[in-house]
Amino acid sequence: MQRILNPTSPARAANLVCRRRSGNLKKLDTLTVQFNLKTPDSLFAQRWGSASTNIVPTGYDPANPVGTGRSRCRALRRARAASLVRNPNYWMSGEPYLNEVEIIDFSDNTSRVAALLSGQVDAIDGVDPST
C-alpha cells in the first residue's frame, strides 16, 4: 500500500483510492490497515482487487518478481509472457492445484482468439462479447 500510495512516485493504482486522505493510512495490527477517506466510498474494498494493486514485499523489484500468491515466477519476458510455477510455501494447504502455467500477453482480441482456436493456448480472458 505504501508503494502504491507513494506521494513522490504513485503507482497506477493510486487513482483508484484517490478519495483517501493524505497521511491517514494507519496500521492497526499485523493484519489490519485503516484508511480514512475524504468521502464515503461503497466500492473501496473492491478497488483493491485489481491486478495493479498486488501485494508485494518492501523493496520489490519488478525485474525479480516475488509475491504472496499461489505461484512463483520462473521466467518473465517483459510485456510478452510469464512462466509461473507452483509455490510450495503457499499458505493454504493442498493448493495451488496447478504445477505450472504460462501467461501470454496478446496485443489484441483477434490474436488472442486466433491462439485459442489454433490450440496455441488452452484458455483466454478478456474476450469481447461480440466475438
Same domain for 68 and 44, yes or no, is no
Read off the pLDDT of residues 10-23 as tens digits, 9 standing for 90 and up: 777 777 666 665 56
Same domain for 68 and 107, yes or no, is yes
Contacts with 96 (C-beta within 8 Å, 6 or more apart), sequence order: 70, 71, 86, 87, 90
What per-residue confidence (pLDDT) applies to 99?
92
- Contact (CB, 8 A) for 88 and 94: no
The whole domain housing 19 covers 1-54
Question: Domains in the chain: how many in total?
Answer: 2
Same domain for 88 and 124, yes or no, is yes
Q: For residue 114, what pLDDT band results from cuts at 50, 70 and 90?
A: very high
- Contact (CB, 8 A) for 65 and 73: yes
What per-residue confidence (pLDDT) applies to 30?
87
Read off the pLDDT of residues 27-73 as tens digits, 9 standing for 90 and up: 899 888 888 887 888 887 777 776 667 767 777 777 777 666 888 87
Provide DSSP, 4-51: TT-SSS--GGGGGGTTEEEEEEEEEETTEEEEEESS--TTHHHHTTSG
* DSSP label at residue 115: H
DSSP bridge partners of 32: 29
Check pLDDT > 90 for residue 122: yes
Same domain for 40 and 84, yes or no, is no
- Contact (CB, 8 A) for 121 and 81: no
> What does the pLDDT average to over 67-85?
78
Same domain for 128 and 69, yes or no, is yes
Q: What is the pTM assigned to this prediction?
A: 0.49
Report the CATH number at residue 107. Answer: 3.40.190.10
What per-residue confidence (pLDDT) applies to 9?
79
Same domain for 131 and 79, yes or no, is yes
What per-residue confidence (pLDDT) applies to 77?
75
